[in-house]
Chains A and B, each alone.
Chain A
Amino acid sequence: MLVIVCPHCGPRNSNEFTFLGERSTRPAVAATTPAAWRHYLYFKNNAAGEAGERWFHVSGCRRFLDVERDTLTNEIRSVRDVGEAAG
């Protein structure tokens, strides 16, 4: 049971969150091709180490979060709300 430090709720057990996988960018629908679109759908980096992920605090504040996690150690480097993810 990982501890994820939610920026709004503080440290919480990971079973309060839904894992949505590595973040990916949605191609512009008007211009996309089947290959490009399906890479967006199916192909991830599957990084061994630093991964940029999206989690959802479904049983807490219901905010979507950008999580930087080391997939080898499960160490979590940072958790930010998608709203201020750039910050």
Chain B
Amino acid sequence: MSMGGESVAEYSSPVAAATADLGSCLLHDESHLAKWRVWEDDHGVELGRASHYAGSIVCAVSPGEWIVIGDRPDAADVVDLTHVRAAIRLTGAGARSLLEHVCALDLGDSMTPNGAAARTLVAGVATEIIRDDAAGEPSYLLLMSRSFARSVWERLEAAAPATSQ
């Protein structure tokens, strides 16, 4: 069930606010984005990578399966993750150091360059992290189970004051 379907219903987001300004970085709620799980990919996106294709992002964090963010892919089996996974984007100079308060992954350029994708724990919640820099500015797209989104969002806000130190 993706946005912009025939539905006239009112969509509600899992988090309280659409954005939060944490000083050195911004949080954006992008949960409304359509997301799909497929078991085939004709773009050749390799494990651990994420790539843009015609407005969609295709990423691979587990062997033999892909997550597509954008239009419904054309595949034999497609599971709609639009409402399963919430999406939070962190953008800004301080995005990485903020994330380092809640994520044990090495987010440095050598281990997590732009275009890297991984599933790991963020604030104790299994989360897909896609490094998706925007115009040279560090940016991370986080996908996590929708019911956890509010918790994760609040943990990020709680960690923010510490990033300065």
Interface residues of A, Cβ cutoff 8 Å to B: 8-10, 12-13, 15-16, 58-63, 81
Contact = CB atoms under 8 A, between A and B. Distances in A.
Given A13-B104, A58-B126, A8 B47 contact: yes
Nearest to A58: B126
Q: How large is the interface on B (under 10, 10 to 19, 20 to 34, 35 or more residues)?
A: 10 to 19
Contacts of B118: 9, 60
B138 interface: no
A43 B62 CA distance: 33
B121 interface: yes
B48 interface: yes
Contact of A59 (B47, B48, B63, B126): B126
A15 B121 contact: yes
B85 to A, nearest CB: 14
B62 A12 contact: no
B94 to A, nearest CB: 23
Given A9-B48, A13-B104, A61 B121 contact: no
**Lowest 5 CB-CB distances: which A-B pairs, in order?**
A61-B62, A59-B126, A59-B121, A13-B104, A60-B119
